[in-house]
């Protein structure tokens, strides 16, 4: 598992420590809300979400996970006047040149605005099969990325990134998790994330690793 710690301010100053009791989570993704509340545990008394403040999601115009995480976190921090947390995540597949990457959620978008990750996984499968003549011949290496940005109302932000490496399977397996979890098997396991209960998934997941880094960097 490769981990990168990043500074949003690109300087040598020490990380800023979170000292409040409420964080506003910049998401409307119910799966992420549930997982992040479990990961934060008792470190924060109140974990609210952007929807509680009637906020729409800002346009994610960045081309990297870091850029999009910062866009979301800083938007919510500015609008609420509170410390905000955003996650930008996705899966990068060797068989299709690292796609979908930051566009992982976009691949699941339907015309009515809802998301269908079964459709997104099928798209990834079909692209890999077409590129390599058949799915069986396609490289199966892939990795998930989770970039967390913790932003203060004054514009300061701390950013960490976690990755989870593994392989792809087809057909998808499991009804747990969310997103592309049912087609991803993490390294040193035989189950997909879609087959793992939360307590097992968080031992190796990209998001859990990012939170471990965030806790070490910004919490005491």
Structure tokens at 60: 């994610």
H or E stretch at 166: strand 157-168
pLDDT tens readout for residues 61-79:
999 999 999 999 999 999 9
* Cβ atoms 86, 27 nearer than 8 A: yes
The answer to which of 22-26, 53-57, 82-86 has the lowest mean pLDDT is 53-57
pLDDT of 25 > 60? The answer is yes
Domains, the chain? 4-11+20-218 (3.90.950.10)
pLDDT band (50, 70, 90) for residue 9: low
pLDDT for the residue numbered 160: 95
pLDDT of 42 > 70? The answer is no
* Cβ atoms 27, 33 nearer than 8 A: yes
d(CA 84, CA 7): 16
Find the DSSP H helices in 81-153: 117-131
Tokens 């420590």 belong to 17
pLDDT of 3 > 60? The answer is no
Whole-number mean pLDDT of the chain? 89
| pTM beyond 0.75 | yes
Task: Return the percentage of the chain with pLDDT > 90, whole number.
Answer: 67
pLDDT for the residue numbered 4: 42
β-pairing, 22-25 vs 84-93, is parallel
The answer to which of 9-13, 41-45, 177-181 has the lowest mean pLDDT is 9-13
- Over residues 182-188, the mean pLDDT reads 97
pLDDT of 217 > 70? The answer is yes
> Annotated active-site positions, please?
88
pLDDT for the residue numbered 20: 85
β-pairing, 46-49 vs 22-25, is parallel
pLDDT of 81 > 90? The answer is yes
């Amino acid at each position: 598992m490769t981990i990168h710690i990043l500074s949003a301010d690109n300087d040598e100053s020490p990380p800023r420590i979170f000292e409040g009791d409420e964080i506003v989570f910049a998401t409307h993704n119910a799966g992420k809300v549930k997982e992040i509340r479990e990961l934060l545990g008792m470190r924060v008394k109140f974990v609210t979400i952007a929807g509680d403040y009637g906020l729409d999601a800002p346009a994610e115009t960045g081309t990297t996970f870091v850029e999009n995480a910062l866009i979301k976190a800083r938007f919510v921090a500015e609008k609420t006047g509170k410390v905000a947390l955003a996650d930008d995540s996705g899966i990068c597949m060797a068989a299709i040149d690292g796609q979908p990457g930051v566009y992982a959620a976009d691949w699941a978008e339907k015309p009515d605005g809802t998301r269908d990750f079964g459709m997104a996984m099928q798209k990834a499968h079909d692209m890999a099969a077409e590129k390599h003549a058949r799915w069986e011949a396609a490289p199966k290496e892939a990795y998930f990325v989770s970039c967390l940005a913790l932003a203060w109302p004054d514009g300061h932000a701390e950013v960490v990134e976690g990755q989870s490496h593994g392989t792809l399977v087809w057909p998808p397996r499991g009804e747990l998790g969310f997103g592309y979890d049912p087609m991803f098997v993490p390294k040193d396991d035989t189950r997909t994330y879609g087959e793992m209960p939360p307590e097992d998934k968080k031992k190796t997941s990209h998001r859990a690793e990012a939170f471990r880094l965030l806790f070490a960097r910004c919490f005491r």
